Structure 1
Amino acid sequence: MATMYPLFLGILFIAVCSHLDAVDRTVNPPASLHQEVVSRLRRSRIIEIAAAEIGVREATGNNDGGRVEAYLAYTGLRKGHAWCAAFVSWCYGRAGFAEPRNPWSPALFPNARTYCRGGACDDLKISAKVKPADIFGIYSHSAKRINHVGLVWRMERNYILTIEGNAENRVLSKRRHLSTVQALSNWITDGNKNH
């Protein structure tokens, strides 16, 4: 019995120390995992807000109507103006973002937020980076600038499914080939670090 007593105390000591070590040790996931989860939740919220607007129409086809005017008002404009960028800004605002908040389409593609321009957007490598709630821009040869924008809903190979305002006088979803996209921007993460 005398030889068992020290053995028992030794095992008990190891068990208690192991338990205390486990209790004191907190498991922290990597910061990048936390950022990724937060990013996905924010993106999902923006898409949820935008998708709920699908079907909103202009009242007379002149950039007007109650809901359209609410999008425009969010960016400081009244009825009668093109509203695709105002719609995107409004969706971000409803999701709790202070920016973007601009009715001018080119303003949604500052260098710090834009991760592809021109032909680079058609590259298969880019398609892997495109995420829901990123903003796409369509170039107009007559305007000589990006003059239509919308939200990426999801990717399907070389196509983006979109949610966009002021397309056919309403909010709708379209399927666009990446070759038609002039620019893509990310307003969710700072400085496109995670893009």
Structure 2
Amino acid sequence: MATMYSLLFGILFTAVCGNLDAIHHIVSPPTSLGQENDAHSMRVRIIEIATAEIGVREATGNNDGERVEVYLAYTGLGKGHAWCAAFVSWCYAQAGFPEPRNAWSPALFPNARTYCRGNACRDSKTSVRIKPADVFGIYGYGAKRINHVGLVQGIEPNYILTVEGNVENRVLAKRRHLSTINAFSNWIE
């Protein structure tokens, strides 16, 4: 319990003392520990953090740049590595979650956290389970595994709205058809 409070205090201190990100978006700190307890509030907070990063770009198009390297460093890596999973992990950390904390995309879909894979993600029963701040994964046929991840920002019929890193060398928001998604995981509940 003390570790959780230390982590939350550190995040609160960082947010209050350094509440501007690398591209000068204001990132509001959590208002208090008690008000951020429910899952909905945490989901909103993660999406606020992620959307504040929209526009961050790589410096040279080689998985580098000051902000990109901050995401990678959170997962123990330096510049030059793919950073979509590191971005997702970093967003969760800024909201006070110690996990996920991994730069390898498949690691964000352990059985205990994943509620659909493959064609099951296209089922109407699954689409009602998708929530903001869930993690989505896209399967890369060349890699033969999930090789891109991001955060669900919102849901539309047959589509998800996303915030994701390492797409077109930057953080951006996209609209993706459910048929392109291979897995969803829930790291909050």
Please give the range of the TM-score, normalised by the shorter of the 2 chains. Answer: 0.7 to 0.9
Shift of 1:125: 1.2
State the TM-score, normalized to the length of structure 2. Answer: 0.80
Structure 2 distance, partners of 1:95, 1:152, is 16
State the TM-score, normalized to the length of structure 1. Answer: 0.78
Task: State the secondary structure of the residue aligned to 2:152.
Answer: strand
Task: State the secondary structure of the residue aligned to 1:96.
Answer: coil
Matches for 1:167-186 after TM superposition, within 5 Å? 167-186=167-186
User: 2:70 matched to which residue of 1?
Assistant: 70
Structure 2 distance, partners of 1:164, 1:179, is 18
Identity between Structure 1 and Structure 2 (%) = 76
Structure 2 distance, partners of 1:165, 1:80, is 14
Task: State the secondary structure of the residue aligned to 1:154.
Answer: strand
Per-residue CA deviation, residues 112-164 of structure 1 (Å, 9 max, x unaligned), is: 00000000001111111000000000000000000000000000011000000
Structure 2 distance, partners of 1:182, 1:103, is 18
Matches for 1:33-182 after TM superposition, within 5 Å? 38-182=38-182
Paired residues in the alignment total 153
Shift of 1:179: 0.8
Q: After the TM superposition, which parts of structure 1 deviate over 6 Å for at least 4 consecutive aligned residues? A: none
Unaligned runs of 5+ in 2: 1-36
Shift of 1:88: 0.1
Structure 1 distance, partners of 2:79, 2:122, is 35
Per-residue CA deviation, residues 50-107 of structure 1 (Å, 9 max, x unaligned), is: 0000000000000000000000000000000000000000000000000000000000
Structure 1 distance, partners of 2:42, 2:135, is 14
